[in-house]
Structure 1
Amino acid sequence: MATTSLWHIEGRLKDLIDYVENPDKTVVRTKDLQDFYNVFAYVQRPEATEQGEYVSATNCLKEIALQQMILTKKQYGKDDGYIAWHGYQSFKPDEVTPELAHEIGLKTAKKMWGDRFQIIVTTHLDKDHLHNHFCFNSVSFLDGKKYNYSKTEQRKLRNVSDRICTEHGLSVIENPHKAPSRQVWLDEKSGKPTRYNVYREDVREAINFSRRPYYMEEYLQRKGYITDFTGKHWKIRLPQYEHFTRLDTLDKRWTPENIQRTMGAYASFGNRRATISYPPQMPRDLKEWYKPFHKTSHIYKLYLHYCYLLGILPKNTDYKPTSPYLKEDLRKLDEFSEQVRYMSKYGIETFDDLYANREKLQNEMDKWIAYRTKLQNKIRRASPAEKETLRQEKSGVTERITELRKQLKLNKGIEKRSVKIQEKTDLLYANEYRAKEEMQHKKTQRKEREIR
């Protein structure tokens, strides 16, 4: 059995050239780009590939594969957009030998891209499961056209891999389902509160605290989920997501039959009702300031209010949110903290302040870019002795531009994030209002029954 995935690598042709010329001093801008470079480094760093035995190339030489990809890009003038594609083919533990894994990987790569693209295939032996890495040029050496990854290509990759695995007597996944994105998959693996990990935690609680499916569904609805327990596959979703998630994809044991057989483990004295907690230490002015369903321009207070709901503030608090609307954002604590510090540092309290700060940053960056252009022109005309001084000055200007770009990105990120914060906080309060209304309705019904 082998699973496959493929993703694009963003960058510039200059990134590749810098890496080839001096890999030790190349500053890598993204993790994806670093992972891409690592595959080529395995040719020189063979400990993960059995002394380089399980490294192969198609339509290029493995020792200079990256250089040949650069030449192809230059030949057709394709130096922008996606610079390459990187994928993997992962096998079930103990089902395949290194030799067979590499053979299957090479056959898969040739069948998929071997007629048009330069490819390098490496088989890694340093995990409990053997897996192949595919790296190939985004530009075809045959006609200069760029690779277009679509759902059709996605299915083709899976089908080609399955067919070759079957030919070699390996098992295949009979009913494949859509996998989460690579970043979500990595966060899931590390135990961070992704959407699916939050789902699992809440479903596990609902199963353990409920004696019957009706109460389990009620438990999840009280948490804020939309549920569908009508078919042979029980499903849930949060309001902010369009699609349902089947419980048996969260855990293959969570079929309706198995759930009913095992539910109620911690419900000795009846079904337990789900509760939503709120931070006890939130300052009164922040608590009373927020008005649900009223759009606000005071983004700094909005952020602070949300940070208390998440348990980021106050520092060293033991409070943790129980609402699934909030728990997923706990994996973004560093981003929230950085954005709050930025607003505090530059006195940004409202959208007007944010836009004024953005305009100032853009104007300053435009000036530095214009100055760097002048320096570049001077360098062309300067003597060899002057060029070194001018290049150092240009390097300093580039660093300043890079810093301004980071600040601009942070500024724009605050605007986008504030909209999501407002929506999630509104959802939280809307769910609480609805739960209180339902509780009151049940109390009223109970009293009416008692009167009768």
Structure 2
Amino acid sequence: MAVCEIWDVKGRLDHPIDYAENPEKTANPKYTDADLQAMGDVMKYATNGDKTERQFFVTGVNCDPATARDEMMIAKAQWNDQSEIVCYHGFQSFKAGEVTPEQAHEVGVKLAEKMWGGRFQVIVATHLNTECLHNHFVVNSVSYVDGKHYHDNKKNLRLLRQRSDELCREYSLSVIEHPSGRKKPYVLYQAEKNGLPTRDSVARQAVDEAISKSFTLKDFDRQLAEMGYCINFDPNRKYWTIIGKGWQRPKRLYKLGDDYTNERITERIRENSYAVKFQSFSKEQPQVRVIKVKGTLKATKKIGGLRGLYLHYCYKLGILPKKKQQNYARLHYLLKDDLMKMDAITNEARLLCRCHIDTAEQLLSYKDSLESEMQELTEQRKGLYSQSRKSVGEEKEAVKARLSEITERMETLRKEVRLCDGVLARSDTLKEKLQTIRADEKEQKGKELMKHEHRRRSGRANRKDELGGI
């Protein structure tokens, strides 16, 4: 399974690097230093020795890797190219453990030759520093043959992915059979990268748990319903769908991964056995250390207000206590909506606890103090900027150091102000959600009590007659 993407590189860079030692040989007055730096930076990243095993897996198509940047700039100068796009940077990523570095690089070089080899200069570099081996492509934006530009459009992207799939099949590698056609939202990508639970990961957790406890599709449906999900097995539909409480629309199960297709789910349920599983009645209990504390907790003051609200919500989300293994699949549907906001909620809770803020008035007062300090620092910084222009030597360095301290402090203050705004905007919503959750839990508890009472009474039916007959 290879995933392909490509994007343009323009002449702007936040962290410029030193480019070729003798830029006059290929200098083009139409291009600025930033353009050259952009191309040099993307090539340095793609051919990074730490990622490519001392550049063993680096190949040039229509150019020499050692002088590729200079050759590309010569082609631009030859055709008097004035475009702001200096090159294109693409990648081809393989499924973890599916290919060797040699195979990955060979596939990448063949893909570059098929896609751009007839007209463009390309650097192909295979990175080995992650679990998923992947190729990087640096493609000159202008053809060295006819001076025409490569166009990064939907048609060429489809062609790139099509040729990549053809090569994967040729090398007996897996291919994505159901491409979504959409890029994953950046927020979702970042959440998965940082290990935060998302709607998809929680749904997978729910499906996995339901499968582990099911012997039939009816069992599977019932288990998911207990976790707040509804599944559609409609035979008139090609794909099964799942929808959680609070979702706007259903999701096709196969989009959760290869283990969640109709056939695979059915197969996983069939693998469960009806056989009785025997286990020991009692497990060896770990030794518990008992600590005796003098005094009583009766007089202890409970934390209330905003602090209490956030701490209780963090407990419901599973953030507290620490190291607690939370089953996100069985969370209330209102809590599931905030799983991707766990970092923001945690930081807001820390602010409230650190500053002992319990009321909105205390929060507004704290925010005003932050803004006043920011205003004072802004005025100081203006004066220091003026002083810096007039001073020299050690005095100038001291002014710069002070400016750096002020800038760092202002960045911290801005973050605190944003957290205060977040608490003001979120606190009422959290309160309403907790009230709804308590009401639902109370209703559910009442239903369970009625069910147990019904079973108890059913078990005692006809007992008097039975005793009388003995």
Shorter chain as denominator, the TM-score bin is 0.5 to 0.7
Map 1:172-187 → 2, pairs under 5 A: 172-177=175-180, 180-181=184-185, 184=188
Q: Which of the numbers 307, 327, 341 marks the counterpart of 2:314?
A: 307
Gaps of 5+ in 1: 22-35, 70-75, 79-83, 143-147, 270-283, 290-297
Q: Measured at CA, do residues 385 and 119 of structure 1 come closer, stay the same or move farther in structure 2, by a change above 3 Å? A: farther
- The one-letter amino acid paired with 1:222 is E
Task: Give the Cα–Cα distance (whole angstroms) in 2 for the partners of residues 367 and 85 of structure 1.
Answer: 46
- Asked whether the equivalents of residues 184 and 194 of structure 1 are also in contact (C-alpha less than 8 Å), the reply is yes
Instruction: Kindly state the Cα deviation for residue 235 of structure 1 after the two structures are TM-superposed.
Output: 1.9
Q: What secondary structure, in the 3-state scheme, does the structure 2 residue paired with 1:89 have?
A: strand
Task: Please name the residue that 1:94 is paired with.
Answer: 99
Q: Measured at CA, do residues 85 and 384 of structure 1 come closer, stay the same or move farther in structure 2, by a change above 3 Å? A: farther
Percent identical pairs in the alignment equals 29
Task: Give the Cα–Cα distance (whole angstroms) in 2 for the partners of residues 191 and 343 of structure 1.
Answer: 25
- The one-letter amino acid paired with 2:242 is I
Q: What secondary structure, in the 3-state scheme, does the structure 1 residue paired with 2:416 have?
A: helix
Tell me the alpha carbon deviations over residues 208-250 of structure 1, each in whole angstroms, 9 at most, x when there is no partner: 3234433422322221224333234222233344342322333
Task: Please name the residue that 2:44 is paired with.
Answer: 40
Q: Which of the numbers 405, 414, 426 marks the counterpart of 2:414?
A: 405
Q: What secondary structure, in the 3-state scheme, does the structure 1 residue paired with 2:258 have?
A: coil
Q: What secondary structure, in the 3-state scheme, does the structure 2 residue paired with 1:52 have?
A: coil
Q: Which of the numbers 330, 336, 347 marks the counterpart of 1:338?
A: 347
Q: Measured at CA, do residues 227 and 56 of structure 1 come closer, stay the same or move farther in structure 2, by a change above 3 Å? A: same
Q: What secondary structure, in the 3-state scheme, does the structure 2 residue paired with 1:200 have?
A: helix
- Asked whether the equivalents of residues 108 and 161 of structure 1 are also in contact (C-alpha less than 8 Å), the reply is no
- Asked whether the equivalents of residues 59 and 109 of structure 2 are also in contact (C-alpha less than 8 Å), the reply is no
Gaps of 5+ in 2: 20-39, 74-81, 144-150, 277-299, 462-470
Q: Which of the numbers 109, 121, 125 marks the counterpart of 1:122?
A: 125
Q: What secondary structure, in the 3-state scheme, does the structure 2 residue paired with 1:402 have?
A: helix
Instruction: Out of 188-197 and 208-217, give the one that drifted further.
Output: 188-197
Task: Give the Cα–Cα distance (whole angstroms) in 2 for the partners of residues 386 and 183 of structure 1.
Answer: 45
2:331 pairs with 1:323: yes
- The one-letter amino acid paired with 2:382 is T
Q: What secondary structure, in the 3-state scheme, does the structure 1 residue paired with 2:178 have?
A: coil
Q: Measured at CA, do residues 404 and 427 of structure 1 come closer, stay the same or move farther in structure 2, by a change above 3 Å? A: same
Q: What secondary structure, in the 3-state scheme, does the structure 2 residue paired with 1:132 have?
A: strand
2:109 pairs with 1:103: yes
- The one-letter amino acid paired with 2:331 is S
Q: What secondary structure, in the 3-state scheme, does the structure 2 residue paired with 1:210 have?
A: coil
Map 1:214-293 → 2, pairs under 5 A: 214-230=218-234, 231-256=237-262, 258-260=264-266, 262-263=268-269, 265=272
Q: Which of the numbers 136, 140, 165 marks the counterpart of 1:133?
A: 136
Task: Please name the residue that 2:55 is paired with.
Answer: 52
Map 1:295-444 → 2, pairs under 5 A: 298-314=305-321, 322-323=330-331, 325=333, 326=335, 335-415=344-424, 418=427, 421-422=430-431, 425=434, 428-429=437-438, 432=441, 435=444
Instruction: Kindly state the Cα deviation for residue 342 of structure 1 after the two structures are TM-superposed.
Output: 1.0
Task: Give the Cα–Cα distance (whole angstroms) in 2 for the partners of residues 401 and 308 of structure 1.
Answer: 32
Instruction: Kindly state the Cα deviation for residue 397 of structure 1 after the two structures are TM-superposed.
Output: 1.4
- Asked whether the equivalents of residues 101 and 123 of structure 1 are also in contact (C-alpha less than 8 Å), the reply is no
| Rg (Cα) greater in structure | 2
Task: Give the Cα–Cα distance (whole angstroms) in 1 for the partners of residues 301 and 123 of structure 2.
Answer: 60
Map 1:56-205 → 2, pairs under 5 A: 88-92=91-95, 93-94=98-99, 97-104=103-110, 106=112, 122-127=125-130, 129-133=132-136, 153=154, 157-166=157-166, 169=170, 172-177=175-180, 180-181=184-185, 184=188, 193-205=197-209
Instruction: Kindly state the Cα deviation for residue 343 of structure 1 after the two structures are TM-superposed.
Output: 0.9
Task: Give the Cα–Cα distance (whole angstroms) in 1 for the partners of residues 426 and 7 of structure 2.
Answer: 25
Task: Give the Cα–Cα distance (whole angstroms) in 1 for the partners of residues 67 and 115 of structure 2.
Answer: 18
- Asked whether the equivalents of residues 209 and 266 of structure 1 are also in contact (C-alpha less than 8 Å), the reply is no
- Asked whether the equivalents of residues 234 and 246 of structure 1 are also in contact (C-alpha less than 8 Å), the reply is yes
Q: TM-score, normalised by structure 2?
A: 0.61
Task: Give the Cα–Cα distance (whole angstroms) in 1 for the partners of residues 362 and 68 of structure 2.
Answer: 52
Let me know the Cα RMSD of the aligned residues.
5.5
Q: How many residues align?
A: 389
Q: TM-score, normalised by structure 1?
A: 0.63
Q: Measured at CA, do residues 263 and 424 of structure 1 come closer, stay the same or move farther in structure 2, by a change above 3 Å? A: farther
Q: What secondary structure, in the 3-state scheme, does the structure 2 residue paired with 1:248 have?
A: helix
Task: Give the Cα–Cα distance (whole angstroms) in 2 for the partners of residues 318 and 100 of structure 1.
Answer: 44
Task: Please name the residue that 1:30 is paired with.
Answer: none
Q: Measured at CA, do residues 233 and 339 of structure 1 come closer, stay the same or move farther in structure 2, by a change above 3 Å? A: same
